[in-house]
Amino acid sequence: MPERAGPWGGEGRRKHDIAVAPWRLESVRVSSGLVVDGIGFSYLDKSGKQHTTPLWGGAGGTVRMVHLAPSEFVKEVSGTYGPFFSFPSVITSLQLRTNIRSYGPFGEPKGTTFRTRVKQNGSIVGFFGHSTVYIDAIGVYIHP
């Protein structure tokens, strides 16, 4: 498996992870309004087989799809987490930066900040985390 960084945020009732090691991130689906409600993604494994996760968390807010170009790689994931109504800690915002452009922020940047960057030739290839009706915590897989 690639390296893991995180998770950032709180503890949700449901843990989310992938069973097959990711090799390349292809797309990310984010549902967000005031906070990050849900996240799902598609990735390729080392043999080139595509895997797609369901939407983790809730489907509230607006759903946005990020399709990465063949030469585009996620180099940084950043955001914020904090309390939201009766939830002690959820991901309040999320932003993806690639070698080409930035996507987001999804949600509203409020609370404690987090950021993970990869080394020169590395890339972020997947996610893991916790959820209730929102994304409570998120972490990333990094391919060196």
**What domain range includes position 129?**
3-143
Provide the domain count of the chain.
Answer: 1
Q: Note the pTM of the prediction, 2 decimals.
A: 0.95
Q: What is the pLDDT of residue 127?
A: 98
Cβ-count burial 125-135 (b if 16+ within 10 Å, e if not): bbbbbbbebbb
**Nearest to residue 4, comparing CAs of 63, 77, 109, 92?**
77
Residue 139 near residue 6 (C-beta atoms within 8 A): yes
In which residue ranges of the chain is pLDDT below 50? none
CATH code for the domain of 59: 2.100.10.30
